[in-house]
Amino acid sequence: MEIVIIYRISDHSNPEKIKPGYGSKENCLKTLVREFGNKNLHIICDNVTKQTHEMVQKYSSNIELTNNGNTGAFLYSWNKATLYDHPDKYQDRNDSRFSHGHGKIDIDDNGVRKPLNVYVNGEETVVYASKSCHWKLTSSTTMTFATSVKNIREDHDDMIKLHTGKRLPMGGASFKIIEEYLDSLQAAISKYDGEVLVDFTIVKNEDLEKCISHEQKLDCMYKIRYALQARGWLAHEEPDLYTIADYRREFNNNYCSKVDVLMWGESDALIPKQTFVILDNLHKMSLQNNNPKYLAFFGTCKMWDDSWKSVEHVDFTDKPKNNKAWWGTRYITSIEEMNKINDKVEELDVRIA
């Protein structure tokens, strides 16, 4: 398998990033060359000193000096990656270069990969692999990832839009997504004449995923609190490790005896304005049919295969598979677009499986 490595190095990186003492720029680059070689190594030296430039030349002659800044250097690297045209193959999970511990890996029956040898300076790493995903839980990492040129080209425009104008890479627009969710939820509640109890939890723990910076974390939390309070809602703030499974389990236990219908929300979802009226009618119909226990799903976007057809929206289900089209899984629908689609419905289409 051919690997092309685009390696960014800077003397003006994010000052808020906590780095272990042994993780010097030269040690990191030396380790990379030791594990992967320098045959297809392209180094982008962005805002580096003469000393760093001279150090880098010990490991590669394929060096480019730039002055783009943190996010600018990432975008420059992203654009450069689209120029390569080598075979797009998934990495071999047994390739020792893709695992800490130099390939000494246990793979148990459940597909959980655990390196026998991890970093010797206090970090612990566990790699989880399945047929569809590969992710890592670790206490020390860098912004490093492997992908194919095909994927980079497909996601190129989205990544450019996501990062343009951002001080640090991978900033995203998390609060904007949450605020749109709150707007859609408020609109749905206003259309319903019954009572809706709203429950929010803000997880402050960073054991599984670190925020870009403490400053940005505080700013985002302030905005979320303010947006909730402006709508008359409050949130519980959880300081400990708390997953979506933990939340939903407690949510079910806390509210199952207080309300007639439980609805799980998602911070990156949009709630149709007809939601609670429809759920109320479905609940009444279920009781009339002596069927008090049920699960209901609203029509969703075009999914990965035909096994999802029963929950795909009727306007989407016969469309060709295209993740980025307006019916696809990766398209970001606005509230206006969602309402336009739902407003066409004259009679509710209820299907029982």
Q: Could you give phi then psi for residue 311, rounded to 5 degrees?
A: -115, 5
Higher per-residue pLDDT: 139 or 180:
180
**Do residue 159 and residue 225 come from a single domain?**
no
CB-facing half-sphere around the CA of 153: CA atoms within 13 A: 9
DSSP one-letter string for 207-254: SSS--S-HHHHHHHHHHHHHHHHHTT--EEEE-S---HHHHHHHHHHH
Specify the range with the lowest mean pLDDT, choosing from 131-140, 205-214, 250-259, 308-317: 131-140
Identify the pLDDT of residue 96.
44
**Do residue 48 and residue 140 come from a single domain?**
no
**Residue 350 CA: distances (Å) to CA of 49, 262, 311:** 66, 19, 11
Query: pLDDT, tens digit, for every residue of 249-278?
Result: 999 999 999 999 999 988 888 999 999 999
Higher per-residue pLDDT: 155 or 317:
317
Task: Let me know if residue 41 belongs to a domain.
Answer: yes
Task: Let me know if residue 156 belongs to a domain.
Answer: yes
How many separate helices (H) and strands (E) can be counted in the chain? 9, 9
Task: Let me know if residue 283 belongs to a domain.
Answer: no
**Do residue 27 and residue 71 come from a single domain?**
yes
Q: Which residues pair with 200 in a beta bridge?
A: 235
Task: Let me know if residue 308 belongs to a domain.
Answer: no
Task: Let me know if residue 339 belongs to a domain.
Answer: no
| Residue ranges making up the domain that contains 199 | 174-270
Nearest to 64 by CA among 77, 75, 51: 77
Identify the pLDDT of residue 280.
92
**Do residue 40 and residue 97 come from a single domain?**
no
Mean pLDDT (whole number) for 232-252: 90
Neighbouring C-beta atoms of residue 15, cutoff 10 Å: 6
Identify the pLDDT of residue 103.
37
**Do residue 116 and residue 255 come from a single domain?**
no
Query: pLDDT, tens digit, for every residue of 190-231?
Result: 999 999 999 999 888 888 887 777 777 777 787 788 788 888
Measured CA angle at 72 (ends 69, 75), to 5 deg: 150
Cβ atoms of 9 and 53 closer than 8 Å: no
Question: Which residues, 6+ apart, have CB-to-CB distance to 37 below 8 Å?
Answer: none
**Do residue 44 and residue 159 come from a single domain?**
yes
**What is the chain's length?**
353
Residue type, 43: I
Q: Which residues of 35-54 are buried (b: 16+ CB within 10 A; e: fewer)?
A: eeebeebbbbbbbbeeebee
3-class SS of residue 203: strand
Nearest to 187 by CA among 76, 75, 336: 336
Measured CA angle at 204 (ends 201, 208), to 5 deg: 110
Specify the range with the lowest mean pLDDT, choosing from 151-155, 269-273, 301-305: 151-155
**Do residue 130 and residue 84 come from a single domain?**
no
Dihedral, CA of residue 303, residue 307, residue 313 and residue 315, to nearest 10: 80
Distance between CA 194 and CA 280 in Å, rounded? 9
Mean pLDDT rounded to a whole number for the chain: 77
> Hey, what are 253's tokens?
């236990």
Query: pLDDT, tens digit, for every residue of 3-49?
Result: 788 999 988 765 555 566 677 889 989 988 988 888 889 999 988 89
Task: Let me know if residue 133 belongs to a domain.
Answer: yes
Higher per-residue pLDDT: 335 or 3:
335
Identify the pLDDT of residue 63.
93
**Do residue 57 and residue 152 come from a single domain?**
yes
Identify the pLDDT of residue 119.
36
Identify the pLDDT of residue 118.
35
**Do residue 190 and residue 114 come from a single domain?**
no
3-class SS of residue 328: coil
